[in-house]
Amino acid sequence: MLMVSTGGWESHYSARGINGPIDDLLFPIQHGILFYPGFDVLPPFVVYRSGKVDEAIFASLCAQLGQRLDTLSSTAPIAFRAQNAGDYDIPALTLREDLAPGLAGFAAHRVS
C-alpha cells in the first residue's frame, strides 16, 4: 500500500482534475514496480492538501491511517490484469479487444 501526500485538493486528482486521476499517477509504481514482480497492491492512502494540515486534521488523518492499517489483512488488493493470464495479445502485450470495451488508458488494465 502506497501512502502519499499531495499539495493539491482531492478534486485536482480526479478524472477531470488538472493533475489527472490519482490512480493514473500512481499506476507506474503500483503496477509496474509492485504488482508486476508479484506483490499484492492495496489501494493507496492519500493525504490531499498536506500543506494545510492543522492539529485537528492531523489527528483525523492519524485515526484514518490507523483504521486502514488495522484492516490491511481484509482489504482487497487492486485487481490488475495479469500479463500472462490470457488478457493480453502476445507478443504485442496489448489488451484483447473484447476486454474492457470503451475503456482506454490505465483503467482498462484493472479487472472490473
Instruction: Give the residue ranges of the chain where pLDDT is below 70.
Output: none
**Among residues of the chain, what percentage have pLDDT more than 90?**
94
Polymer length in residues for the chain: 112
pLDDT at residue number 104: 84
Query: Phi/psi of residue 5, each to 5°?
Result: -125, 155
Q: Are strands 3-5 and 94-95 parallel, antiparallel or unpaired?
A: unpaired
Angle at the Cα of 28 from the Cα atoms of 42 and 76, rounded to 5 degrees: 15
pLDDT at residue number 40: 97
Q: How far apart are CA 78 and CA 25, in angstroms?
A: 15
What three-state secondary structure class fits 3? strand
pLDDT at residue number 87: 96
